[in-house]
């Protein structure tokens, strides 16, 4: 049996990567078993609000607050760089957590956020994305190699040189000389669902402009083509640095805008800071059956 339910929401985006944000910091709005189907309803463009995913603000036992992110297909993801900047702006400007520096629990680990605030408005968020892993078992990726670094993968009888990395969620990074030659709608889903990636993978094609500047296009796991991907920009910068193709400071151009990524090292492991803004589009209510 279904009942009518009123949901308060905010629509936000980070460089065009758009999300519905729902506050569950004090009470559950959508029952846990209903979340996947409700997320699918909310994200369906042309029939509902429309979004790349849904963000839930939740209480945490291990950090100041918890970030949950569901893809448009109803699957829950570990982390989202653009989404967590929307999350930061939402919780600060709605007085849920009025701190400019705090820790956030995610399925991809604890993240440290620093907000730049002017006149009560968050104009930029810097996120410590944490340490990455190139180990195939951590991505996860099925391969006989310990790490898959600029190596060959057969995708529907086409060979791609890609690097696999986990930055809190899994990514496949492919460097190319010409993004215009990439049929992303065709190759994106084939790579996302490739048998080598049992938990699927986010896919990025990258053109290097200089050691400090790149341009990327993204096919996001569970969402498809997106205008921007914060964890994707992070994975590109870290992969390029590991391969000796990029410096530690990289300006990443995405279809929706730019992000600054700064790579650092801890005991030989690579991590990164991501910095960018987020935008509140509108707030509203929607009535759903669940």
The pLDDT of 77-90, averaged and rounded, is: 96
The pLDDT of 63-84, averaged and rounded, is: 96
Instruction: Examine the domain organization and report whether 183 and 235 are in the same domain.
Output: yes
Instruction: Examine the domain organization and report whether 154 and 121 are in the same domain.
Output: no
Q: Are 189 and 223 in contact (CB under 8 A)?
A: no
* 80 flagged as catalytic: yes
CA distance 92 to 5: 26
CA distance 101 to 116: 9
The pLDDT value recorded for residue 50 is: 97
158-209 pLDDT, tens digit per residue, is: 999 999 999 999 999 999 999 999 999 999 999 999 999 999 999 999 999 9
Q: What is the CATH number of the domain that holds 85?
A: 3.10.310.10
Check pLDDT > 90 for residue 4: no
Q: Are 147 and 185 in contact (CB under 8 A)?
A: no
Instruction: Examine the domain organization and report whether 90 and 209 are in the same domain.
Output: no
Interacting residues of 214 by C-beta distance below 8 A, sequence separation 6+: 206, 207, 208, 236, 237, 240, 246, 250, 251, 252, 253
Instruction: Examine the domain organization and report whether 115 and 142 are in the same domain.
Output: no
Backbone torsion region of residue 282, taken as left when φ is above 0, otherwise alpha when ψ lies between -120 and 50, otherwise beta:
beta
Give the domain extent around 217: 136-273
Q: Which entry of 77, 153, 229, 254 is annotated as an active-site residue?
A: 229
- Rounded mean pLDDT of the chain? 96
Instruction: Examine the domain organization and report whether 103 and 143 are in the same domain.
Output: no
Instruction: Examine the domain organization and report whether 172 and 256 are in the same domain.
Output: yes
The pLDDT of 229-252, averaged and rounded, is: 97
Instruction: Examine the domain organization and report whether 140 and 118 are in the same domain.
Output: no
Instruction: Examine the domain organization and report whether 122 and 150 are in the same domain.
Output: no
pLDDT confidence band for 104 (50 / 70 / 90):
very high
Which value, to the nearest 10 degrees, does the dihedral of the CA atoms of residues 139, 264, 234, 246 take? Answer: -110
Instruction: Examine the domain organization and report whether 264 and 165 are in the same domain.
Output: yes
Instruction: Examine the domain organization and report whether 144 and 267 are in the same domain.
Output: yes
Check pLDDT > 80 for residue 1: no
CA distance 163 to 258: 22
Number of domains in the chain: 2
Interacting residues of 192 by C-beta distance below 8 A, sequence separation 6+: 200, 201, 202, 203, 219, 221
* 43 flagged as catalytic: no
Q: Which entry of 12, 79, 80, 165 is annotated as an active-site residue?
A: 80
In which residue are the tokens 């279809």 written? Answer: 255
The pLDDT of 111-125, averaged and rounded, is: 97
The pLDDT of 43-47, averaged and rounded, is: 96
Instruction: Examine the domain organization and report whether 164 and 234 are in the same domain.
Output: yes
Instruction: Examine the domain organization and report whether 89 and 190 are in the same domain.
Output: no
């Amino acid at each position: 049996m279904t009942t009518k339910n009123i949901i308060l929401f905010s629509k936000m985006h980070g460089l065009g990567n758009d999300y519905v944000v729902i506050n569950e910091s004090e009470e559950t709005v959508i029952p846990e078993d209903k979340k996947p189907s409700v997320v699918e309803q909310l994200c369906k463009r042309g029939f509902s609000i429309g979004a790349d995913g849904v963000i839930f603000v939740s209480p945490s036992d291990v950090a100041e607050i918890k970030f949950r992110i569901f893809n448009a297909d109803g699957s829950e993801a570990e982390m989202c760089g653009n989404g967590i900047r929307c999350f930061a702006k939402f919780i600060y400007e709605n007085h849920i957590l009025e701190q400019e520096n705090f820790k956030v629990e995610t399925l991809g680990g604890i993240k440290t956020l620093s907000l730049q605030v002017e006149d009560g408005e968050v104009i930029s968020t810097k996120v410590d994305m944490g340490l990455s892993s190139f180990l195939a078992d951590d991505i996860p990726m099925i391969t006989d190699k310990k790490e898959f670094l600029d190596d060959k993968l057969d995708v529907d009888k086409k060979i791609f040189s890609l690097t696999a990395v986990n930055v809190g969620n899994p990514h496949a990074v492919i460097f190319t000389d010409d993004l215009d030659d990439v049929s992303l709608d065709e190759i994106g889903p084939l790579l996302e669902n490739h048998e080598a990636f049992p938990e699927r993978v986010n896919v990025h094609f990258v053109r290097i402009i200089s050691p400090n500047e790149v341009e990327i296009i993204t096919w996001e796991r569970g969402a498809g083509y997106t205008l921007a991907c914060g964890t994707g920009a992070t994975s590109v910068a870290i992969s390029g640095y590991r391969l000796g193709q990029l410096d530690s400071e990289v300006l990443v151009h995405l279809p929706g805008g730019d992000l600054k990524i700064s790579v650092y090292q801890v005991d030989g492991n690579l991590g990164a800071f991501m910095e960018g803004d987020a935008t509140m589009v509108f707030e509203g209510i929607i009535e759903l059956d669940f």
